Structure 1
Amino acid sequence: MLDIRRLHMLKTVAARGSITAAAQSLELSAGAVSQQLAALRHDVGVDLLRPDGRTVALTEAGRVLLEHADRILAAMEEAECAVAAVKGTVGTTATLAALPSTVARIVAPALTALGADHPQLAVTCLVTDQAQLRELTLGTVDVVLGQHYHHLPKTTPKGIAVSPLLDDPLLVVTAAGGATSGSDERSVALRDLAAHHLVVPPPTTDCGQAILHACQQAGFTPTPRYVTADIAAQLALARSGLATALVPRTAIDPATPGIRTAPIEDHPIQRLLFAATRRTETTNPTTAAVIAALRTAARQHRTPHRPPA
């Protein structure tokens, strides 16, 4: 009989591209992973991996086995969810992956509420700019607070369930010209920013790609003066008058002194914040509690998700 732990190792190696990377992810030694994969190869009687430059790739038999492994692992999780649903209680551990721009206004309030409502639940939070949906499919995280920019192609891995939380537009941020902050009701044309000194995230990030694409739709390619994914740095440069920033509304503290914000009128850049989990037929009480807390925190600050026209 096949060992489910070895199947999960095979899936992780296929996703990471090497035994060393998979071992780091699994918090095991590379030798231990190699030993388990050798045992799996012995169980099935055929090679499952082959060298591919500096990485490894699945053989044809490995691809076939991985297809079945995905279904087996999904069935195991379904069984765990069904038992948890019968118990009807929130568990003791969960791992949440979230974007830095969501921590202050959504993640922190949600975790505070979870601590009050479910004191037995310890949530480990991974804060990173990089998309974590692959980590969700590999089981290293349980809930992802992610984003999708409406004008970019949508890519959601198979087996992932997405719950919309909030539509969150990017605002134009400039120096307020005084000690206080404010919101300008007058919209700004994105094309008018072509002459501004801009601070933008790197083009390798989702936000950087979204800004680049929107600017090109507005008729120009931005040549930023400053490039950083650090929103605190973006706001500092805007406050000093050195640059104009484009920052998600949720990431801006209204009490931040010395800045002024304005909406974009001609080519709005808007992201959908969502909570994602692995798709199961039966709701897991623990992940459901985390998503409910995230949804409540998002609702308290901004208008709920509305599909784009």
Structure 2
Amino acid sequence: MLDVRRLYMLKTVAARGSITAAARSLALSAGAVSQQLAALRNDVGVDLLRPDGRTVALTEAGRVLLEHADRILAAMEEAECAVAAVKGTVGATATLAALPSTVARIVAPALTALGERHPQLAVTCLVTDRAQLRELALGTVDVVVGQRYHHLPETADRGVDVAPLLDDPLLVVTAAADGAGERPVALGELAPHDLVVPPPTTDCGQAILHACRQAGFTPAARYVTADIAAQLALARAGLATALVPRTAIDPSTPGIRTAPIEDHPILRSLFAATRRTGTTDPTTTAVVSALRTAARQARTAPRPPA
């Protein structure tokens, strides 16, 4: 009989691209993973992996086995969810992955509420800019707080359920001393400004570039950083104008003014993603519910300073 743990290792190696990377994510040695995969190869009697430059790739037999492994692993999670649903109680652990810009206004309030409502639940929170939907599929995280900018086509990820949290507009951020107030700003007015923007390889950087070009100019990126704290510091110092998501700005931040964009709004949709199962999991349901409540509160919270 095939060992489910070995099937999961095969899936992880296929997703990570190498035994070393898979071992790192599994908190195992590369030797231990190699031994388990060798045992799996002996179980099926055919090679499952082949060298591919500095990485490894699945053989045809490996691809066939992985298709079945995905169904087996999904069925096991379905069984766990079904038992949890019968018990009707929130579990003891969950792992949440979230973008840094969502922590202060959404994630932190949600985790506080979860701690009060379900004190037995320990949530591990991974704060990272890296896309985590792959980690969701691998089972290393249970809930992902992600984003999609409106200029990008909406894509449906197989096996993933998405719960919308809120639409989060980017605001124009300048030094408080510039006297601009909260008057809505036409994006074209920023053409002569020195801007601080995220790298163009990021979703936010692409969204800003796309909107500015629609407004008739290519932004002058004097400063390039994805660090929102750095963006706000440069704006506060009067060195640059920033475009920052509303929920990423602490309303009590001193020394800055914010204004909405009136003609070419730049919006990101925040969402909570979970693995799709036929039975509702009380634990992930509780986490998503807390995130949605925090998002509603963030939507009605006071505007950042103007």
TM-score by length of 1: 0.94
How far apart are 1:184 and its partner, in Å? 4.2
Residue 212 (structure 1) aligns with: 209
**Partner SS for 1:302:** helix
Which whole-Å deviations, capped at 9, do the CAs of 1:168-200 have from their partners, x for residues lacking one? 00001011118xxx9944221222212110001
Q: What residue in structure 2 maps to residue 307 of structure 1?
A: none
Q: Residues of 1 paired with 2:192 and 2:182: CA distance? A: 21
Separation of aligned partners in 2, 1:213 and 1:76: 44
Could you tell me which runs of 5 or more consecutive residues in structure 1 were left unpaired when the two chains were aligned.
Answer: 304-309
Aligned to 2:303: none
Q: What secondary structure, in the 3-state scheme, does the structure 1 residue paired with 2:212 have?
A: helix
Say whether residues 1:55 and 2:55 are aligned partners: yes
Q: Report 1:74-113 matches (<5 A).
A: 74-113=74-113
Contact 2:2 2:40 in 1 (8 A): yes
Separation in structure 2 between the aligned mates of residue 238 and residue 53 of structure 1, nearest angstrom: 46
What is the CA distance between 1:250 and its match in structure 2? 0.4
Q: Retained in 1: the 8 A contact 2:100–2:127?
A: yes
Aligned to 1:246: 243
8 Å contact kept, 1:2–1:43: yes
The residue that corresponds to 1:233 in the other structure is 230
Look up the match of 1:279: 276
Aligned to 1:28, what secondary structure does the other structure show? coil
Match of residue 267, structure 1, among 264, 269, 272: 264
| AA partner of residue 154 (structure 1) | E
| 2:177 match | 177
Q: How many residues align?
A: 301
> Would the aligned equivalents of 1:134 and 1:157 in 2 still touch at CA under 8 Å?
no
Aligned to 1:141: 141
Cα distance in structure 2, aligned partners of 1:210 and 1:2:
47
Query: Shift of residue 156 of structure 1?
Result: 4.1
Partner of 1:4: 4
Report Cα offsets for 1:260-307 as digits up to 9, x if no partner: 11111221110110000000011110111111111111101206xxxx
SS at match of 1:219: coil
Does structure 2 retain, via aligned residues, the 8 Å contact 1:130–1:205? no
Identity, % of aligned positions? 86
Alignment of 1:5-24 (within 5 A): 5-24=5-24
**Structure 2: which amino acid aligns with 1:48?**
L
Cα gap change, 1:16 to 1:175, in 2 (>3 Å): same
Q: 1:94-120: CA deviations, max 9, x gaps?
A: 000001011111111111111110101
Paired residues of 2:195 and 2:242 also in contact (CA < 8 A): yes
Q: RMSD between aligned alpha carbons? A: 1.6
Q: Which moved more, 1:218-227 or 1:238-247?
A: 218-227
- Is this contact kept in 1: 2:182–2:257, CA < 8 A? no
